Amino acid sequence: MLYELITLHCTPLAQDRVSNAAYDWHNRSCATLLGAWRTEIGDLFQIKLLRAFELAQALDAERERALRDPVPYGVDAEDVCIETESLAPFPFLQPLQVGKRGAIYEFRTYWLHPGGLTPTMEAWRAALGAAAEYTQHLLVNLYALDGPPRILHIWGFESLAQRQELRARHYSLGLWPPKGGPQQIARANSTICVPEAYSPIH
């Protein structure tokens, strides 16, 4: 399974229109929509769509469709700046499940030092069991297939307070972050999002 994250950087007050247009555009594709969100904390006025593809050829064909469409994702240049990422899952994690996964969602990106992906995966694999109370909130961890080396992990929580409590407790017990993982990170970004009404993950 391969994934594509589409981020539509909107102008203020355009999010509803851009989101609805992108959803209509997606419905004419071969992709499986897993989730759709808008940003609430962090880089604002964004719509994010996470889509899945069974085959790399299908992802490539969909990317070609977007490149050749005069109005890709149903929006024009006055509305939005478009960013697309091709991603693959950490192979030892369970497949991403749709449904009710939280009230808020954290999109966390780590740009890695060169050569940092393999030790990052090994660190995560070793840490998951002991930190299960925290990592049960992990929806997926993906690594980029294009651009600079980086990973994207998405978390679902009932509240920011729940997120903070779990992180603080697991940090204090030495269960998180994965040992050896932070040393691979060149820089990081975190954005808090809420799901769109049509999102399969909600």
pLDDT tens digits, 163-180: 999 999 999 999 999 999
Phi, psi of 115 (to 5 degrees): 80, 5
Q: CB of 80 within 8 A of CB of 18?
A: yes
Q: State which residues form the domain around 124.
A: 91-195
For residue 78, the model assigns a pLDDT of 74
For residue 76, the model assigns a pLDDT of 80
Q: What is the mean pLDDT of residues 84-90?
A: 98
Residue with tokens 């997606």: 26
Q: How many angstroms separate the Cα of 39 from the Cα of each of 15, 49, 91, 125?
A: 10, 12, 28, 29
Mean pLDDT of the chain: 96
Same domain (yes/no): 98, 188: yes
Q: What's at 53, amino acid-wise? A: F
The radius of gyration of the chain from alpha carbons, rounded to an integer in Å, stands at: 17
Q: What is the mean pLDDT of residues 179-199?
A: 98
128: in domain: yes
Same domain (yes/no): 78, 163: no
Can you give the CATH number for the domain in which 69 is found? 3.30.70.100
Q: Of 88, 111, 139, which residue is a domain's last?
A: 88
52's enclosing H/E stretch is strand 46-53
Q: CB of 8 within 8 A of CB of 77?
A: no
- Confidence bin at 9 (pLDDT 50/70/90): very high
Residue with tokens 């990592």: 135
Residue with tokens 């693959």: 88
77 pLDDT exceeds 80? no
